[in-house]
A and B are shown apart, each in its own frame.
Chain A
Amino acid sequence: MTANDVSEVQATGVTWGSDGSAVARWERACFLTDLFPERGAAALFGNVQVALFRLPEDPLDPADGGPVYAVQNLDPFSGAYVMSRGIVGTRAGVPTVAAPVYKQVFSLVTGECLVAADKAPQGDLPPDLRTYEVEIRDGVIHVGLP
């Protein structure tokens, strides 16, 4: 997995992940170094909870510090705000996070639920996670909110 598949380089920094919706505002989350590599962290913007994941750096290009993905922190299958506490990994090369409650697996790139583990989402929640755009500006992670 290299960053090129999902990123576009902008003048201001690097952007990862997008679900195609327009970004209405950019919110500052934390320093990139606040995140433990290969673990998630939750960020709170008003009442919106976002799960941030910092993946290992590309061994060929260690300077970029590794890609960062943002998805909703709400786990659709348990209804709890816990996605940031899942284990990150890969399925067929796609970076993933596993829900810590009932172990569904989601793509960090598209938010798609890859493994439903014989469960249905709570209420009428969609099974896939929404994703948020991420930009790193001067070592600070910014999240694009709709």
Chain B
Amino acid sequence: MVNSGISQHLVVIGGGMVAQRLVEALRARDDAGRYHVTVFAEEPRAPYDRVGLTRWFEEGPEGIALGDQALWADPHVTLHTDRKIDSIDREAKTVTDRLGHVHAYDELVLATGSSAAMPPIPGNDLPGVFVYRTIDDVAALRGWVEEKRRSYPEGKPVRGAVIGGGLLGLEAAGALTALDAQATVIEFGTHLMGVQVDLGGGQALKRLINGKGIGVRAETATSQLKPHRRTGHVGRLDFADGGRLDVDVVVVATGVRPRDELARAAGLPVGERGGAVVDLSCRTEDPHVWAVGEVACIEGRCIGLVAPGNTMAEVVVDRLLGGLAEFPGADTATKLKLSGVDVASFGDAHARTEDAVEVVWADPVAGVYKKLVLSDDARTLLGGVFVGDAGPYASLRPMLGAELPGDDPSAFLLPEGGGAPNLELPDEANVCSCNNVSAGAIRGAVTQHQCTDVPGVKACTRAGTTCGACLPLVKKLVDTELERAGIEVSTALCEHFDLSRAQLFDAVRVADLHSFSDIVARFGTGTGSRGCDICKPVAASILASLGNGHILSGEQSTLQDTNDHMLANLQKDGTYSVVPRMPGGEVTPEGLITVGQVAKDFGLYTKITGGQRIDMFGARVEQLPDIWRRLVDAGFESGHAYGKSLRTVKSCVGSTWCRYGVQDSVGMAVELELRYRGLRSPHKLKMGVSGCARECAEARGKDVGVIATDKGWNVYVGGNGGQTPRHAKLLAEDLTSEELLRTIDRFLMYYVRTADRLQRTAPWIEEVDGGLDGVREVVMEDSLGICADLDAAMARHVENYEDEWKAVLEDPEKLRRFSSFVNAPKGADPSLAYVEERGQRRPATSEERATGVVIAGPRLEVRA
């Protein structure tokens, strides 16, 4: 451990979200390196987004990764995972970990959080009773549900119950549903989410929750949990009113209890209901011991929300660095993160302020309930409850304590804003409560730090980087500020077109244009302009997507990037690589022999690609047609590895061979690849098909991922590998093969038409209207009324497909392009040089060229 004479040692006990925030804030502010910080986490992993725990089911560990993982590689930071601290010695200023190692500290922060509370109901220790707090809890719950399902005859459901109808209970119920288990929520109080939501909201919420297939039993006390007679696992809930419920699994979510045992043992004062007592600087009685997050008892209570915990972390960092920050009071605004159920509340949701006025708008049929709590003059906003439509939450919450503009506050509750005045947030209004970012800070990011878009502002201020609920508001603030600063958010392609790619696509489609000359004459910026290396490939892609024949026909050929122009992939030495299509990764032994023989005859380096096919490297321009002829004669065609177009559809072997497969993934992959081959798009497109939930094809790393279920296919969209890996997100479930094709047809066409230049599906989904939900509405419910058009466009694509290689081979005019030199068409580029490595050749490095160890020039072929 680094603990030089100058730097002080800060020890943080606990590895949760607030601990992470503390380390982040310290590293961001402690430029002089005054502190080395060591974090001891009890869980065997770095801090993760506990608030998003339910996402773990859908997206796995990376779905709930928190912040920049580079933080833990910082030389001023040490993270010990799986290292519980057993005791604190305040005299000696040391802590002792579970291995018995003693660590000295100068300053100590308790960030031990809470544990799930287990009410003293008889039977609460039966197998099959879980809590919902950590990744391990969630993993154990999943394992249990899956095990139960396996032990049951097909079709018999796994029955679950959640004791506790608060925020956490509803998330746990959502998790059970995600695991395909039945769920019933048992609530002791009068209604769900009783802390945050009033009775009216609770009733609307119950309808929404019922709509998700989750049962609700309110005003019910559980008297005992009974074991199943045969298995001894939990089998039944008995209620105080005499009712019973048969269950296979129970999640207890009745609350949390601060983990204050270390504080108690160290003799620090604890609150009436637990928690290490701290003052507004988050300091305990001991000047060198601090407490933050759920374990801190501040203003007489512990707060089980992440945002106030983050604020405490910022306060402690400020204090450690000599500042005088104080905890400003808790922002207890909450938003339920259960898919399809919008619930949010903030401020005085129960209208407990004296003479408070409540304005309510309710639509019981749709399960919508919205309420504003206002001061007695009906002007100052004191709180709000939103169920079924949390739309107004993001913009109203920061107005807490401020006067609402306009005469009629109810206008804010009407659907679509109902003509409510535009909210001009005060600079001090807190927009992102997770990261404590004010409206002023977001405006400053634009006006002082030259951010010109939401991703820039996110990176600069960290607004919206935790739960993301405030992003719509952030976008609005950024847009307004840019407009005000006179910065036009330019979506212009280049100096030749003021339009964005999406606008140009529509323009070309509607104006029915078929050549670049017409496009640039009609929509270009200047007369006589002939475009450039930016707009030409965009126009080429648009023309190809709209079906204008071979990409090398006529003037279109002048628009193509060299890869498309040569129908092969340019490599660093100026030669190309050739990839024949192997749909779904399937290839016959004869096919393999042909590929091998071609590679051998032309001296090409061969490598298996990530997309389950074979790449042959080192082909010179003048060799390409000869190589294609051999491949085409053997039944191969272009694999479009060179295009901004569909690349491959990767598949696992599926139910035809695999013991576990539930559908024919190879068959589906072949069908998809043959359907979408050659489809030109804003960027490359990759797809995958897995034959069962084991997901061997890694389909969720693709733009479109298809995973077999025993009822059909699930389709995921927006995945990619590369520098910013993304897991694809669920678009639709249990589709038939026919529905699957129609869904993907529409998704792809919608993307092709509206995405920006070189924008892959993941960022497109983030930016397109309504995000993933918006895409789902467009492709599944035809909310824009364009599906017939999208379907027709895809049908045209499928009908008009031709192999681009074969078409060149059949056209002498196109073949003429494939000559190395205009004055020596079959001459080889004399600059090429190769060395042998592991039995194949590769381009010589400049050192090898200089020292002359080069073994061969361009004419290496072994061909007779």
Question: B-contacting residues of A (Cβ < 8 Å)?
Answer: 1, 28-30, 34-39, 41-45, 47, 49, 52, 55-56, 59, 74, 78-82, 85-92, 96, 98, 100-101, 103, 105, 122-123
Contact = CB atoms under 8 A, between A and B. Distances in A.
B533 A89 contact: yes
Contacts of A82: 562, 570, 574
Given A85-B562, A85-B566, A35 B822 contact: yes
A44 B537 CA distance: 28
Interface stretch (B363-371, B734-742, B827-835): B827-835
11 contacts: A42-B820, A44-B820, A44-B824, A44-B827, A81-B831, A82-B562, A82-B574, A89-B533, A89-B536, A96-B532, A100-B561
A101 B528 CA distance: 28
A41 B822 contact: yes
Interface in B824-855: 824, 827, 829-831, 846
Contact of A101 (B572, B819, B846): B572
Contacts of A91: 495, 532
Contact of A90 (B532, B565, B573): B532
Contacts of B574: 78, 80-82, 101
Contact of A37 (B496, B558, B573, B821): B558
Nearest to B563: A100
Nearest to B565: A85
A36 B817 contact: yes
Contacts of B448: none
B557 A100 contact: no
A3 B529 CA distance: 15
A78 B533 CA distance: 18
A74 B830 CA distance: 12
A121 to B, nearest CB: 12
B562 A44 contact: no
Contact of A38 (B530, B821, B830): B530
A106 to B, nearest CB: 11
A110 B531 CA distance: 19
Contacts of B824: 44
Given A47-B830, A98-B533, A105-B533, 13 more contacts: A41-B822, A42-B821, A43-B821, A49-B821, A49-B829, A59-B528, A80-B574, A82-B570, A85-B570, A88-B558, A89-B536, A90-B529, A90-B532
A130 to B, nearest CB: 16
B654 to A, nearest CB: 39
Given A80-B573, A87-B537, A43 B817 contact: no
B823 interface: yes
B557 A81 contact: no
Interface in B96-120: none
Contacts of B557: 36, 39
A55 B846 CA distance: 34
Interface string B487-524: 00000000110000000000000000000000000000
A101 B536 CA distance: 16
Q: 6 nearest interchain CB pairs? A: A89-B532, A98-B533, A80-B574, A100-B562, A38-B558, A87-B533
B566 to A, nearest CB: 7
Max chain A Cβ within 10 angstroms of own Cβ: one of B561, B562, B829: B562
A39 B516 CA distance: 14
Contacts of B536: 87, 89
Nearest to B573: A80
Contacts of B558: 36-39, 87-88
A80 B618 CA distance: 13
Contacts of B561: 87, 100
Contacts of B822: 29-30, 34-35, 41-43, 52
Contact of B823 (A30, A36, A80, A92): A30
Which range holds the interface residue count of chain B?
35 or more
A49 B831 contact: yes
Which residue of B496, B530, B534, B560 has the most chain A CB atoms within 10 A of its CB atom?
B530
A43 B532 contact: no
A34 B821 CA distance: 11
A36 B570 CA distance: 20
Contacts of B565: 39, 85
Nearest to A122: B846
B728 to A, nearest CB: 29
Residue with the highest number of chain B CB atoms closer than 10 Å, among A41, A49, A74, A80: A80
Interface string B317-338: 0000000000000000000000
A113 to B, nearest CB: 14
Contacts of B537: 87
A44 B572 contact: no
Contact of A44 (B496, B566, B817, B821): B821
Contacts of A55: 530
A31 B544 CA distance: 31
A109 to B, nearest CB: 15
A47 B824 CA distance: 12
Of B495, B572, B821, chain A has the most CB atoms within 10 Å of the CB of B821
B533 A86 contact: yes
Contacts of A123: 846
Contacts of B533: 86-87, 89, 96, 98, 103, 105
B41 to A, nearest CB: 39
A103 B562 CA distance: 11
Nearest to B824: A44
A42 B495 CA distance: 28
Given A78-B572, A89-B532, A91-B495, A29 B823 contact: yes
Q: Report which residue of A30, A85, A88, A105 has the largest number of chain B beta carbons within 10 angstroms of its beta carbon.
A: A85
Contacts of B560: 87
Interface in B548-591: 555, 557-562, 565-566, 570, 572-574
B835 to A, nearest CB: 16
Contacts of A49: 821, 829, 831
Contacts of A85: 562, 565-566, 570
A87 B565 CA distance: 10
Contacts of B496: 89-90
Nearest to B537: A87
A122 B574 CA distance: 14
B846 A79 contact: yes
B540 to A, nearest CB: 10
Contacts of A87: 532-533, 536-537, 558-562
Contact of A100 (B570, B820, B823): B570
A85 B820 CA distance: 10
A34 B813 CA distance: 11
Nearest to A92: B495
A74 B561 CA distance: 18
B107 to A, nearest CB: 43
A121 B557 CA distance: 29
Contacts of A89: 496, 530-536
A62 to B, nearest CB: 14
Nearest to A115: B533
Interface string B120-156: 0000000000000000000000000000000000000
Contacts of A29: 822-823
A41 B533 CA distance: 17
A8 B532 CA distance: 26
A56 B824 CA distance: 24
A81 B558 CA distance: 20
Contacts of A52: 822
Nearest to B621: A85
Contacts of A38: 530, 555, 558
Nearest to A83: B574
A82 B559 CA distance: 17
A44 to B, nearest CB: 4
Given A78-B572, A85-B566, A91-B532, A43 B495 contact: no
A43 B534 CA distance: 26
A52 B829 CA distance: 16
A1 B529 CA distance: 9
Nearest to B831: A81
A41 B825 CA distance: 10
A88 B819 CA distance: 19
